[in-house]
Structure 1
């Protein structure tokens, strides 16, 4: 992970939601650039006089990277004189990488054949209603739970929500001290998370796992005499096993 002494670890962790409910495997190292999936197969059935061609399929493991600079003079002042050091640049870089990780988990990268939780072929989809009505959030999430339960995925579940939907849950039911958020956490035992997505998505963790090549870390690039040039980087890919363990709640139009 990003070195805590540089102040980036907490900044990144606050934005990462997928890692909190998905199985995480690794790290395997920066050299992991692709992962083979499925079984080796003939690309077509060979004719009697033809040599067969056996192919395997693979998914790429994206590397995420964000550069930043720290003043040579201010680092020396911090190390030798105990002067304060502004770590905003490393925090900003760690947050940028964290946001990109979340984007890959939820939306994938279709141009490169990478699917996300919200875009995977085979996912369930339901139309949600306006959560301005206090009871509607529970009604919609229950419908998603029933859909996954009927498909053989019995939880526990995680629920990721857009900031707007998440913030609506800080209301109490009429005549009660219970917040909507507390109520939904009883139903979604793996947690309810605010994520940079549109709408909402209910996930059974059997959907797949997050495969880590290089975990989030800082690296040194160069020194131009004025700034030390560093970077935050990681590599990872979402491996989807059962896309039908996901139910997307599409926001109402208009």
Structure 2
């Protein structure tokens, strides 16, 4: 039995707004219906609905914007979408989840230079969801952080490296996340982010632990990392003091 349709009680205009927004969101998932001549109008409508007072309408609007990604041929459209979607990361969990899914689509269509100053806001916002109690939000946060790691080449490399240094312990801990899907996404992201830490001597060990499909043994990984960090600290002490430690 299909679930009953969502209704906005006591608000016929709100119900109409929801229905029309849901229709647009679904319509935009069909490539044949995303003709360029309609794109500007649809973008305008969905952007307006993303500010609606009702969270369900906002959720449908964000979903529609995500479905528009592949139908928006110009990078300026994708940048416009990204600004709206980043703002939606401050909304309700349902809207945030839709926004994260849509952002994953948008980012895969852009390069580092295309993101501009939004890179900073997006990176900072994403890693605040690493410890969120919602499994789906944690999982998507790791997915997005991994996508950013792939995108980062030159302009934002130093900045992203600083963000990784602030969050790598959290990433390490979530390799043992109680949710298997979250743990799997974190595993992929940790491997992508580790090179930004500059611990080249440890990279091969990380690849052995995280590469492939073998069962991850987080305790052994943590021991290897700690052993390496202690070794590096001792080497630094030797250089600074000129004595054998």
Which TM-score bucket, shorter chain as reference?
under 0.3
TM-score by length of 1: 0.25
Larger helix proportion of the pair = 2
Looking at secondary structure, tell me which structure has more strand per residue.
1
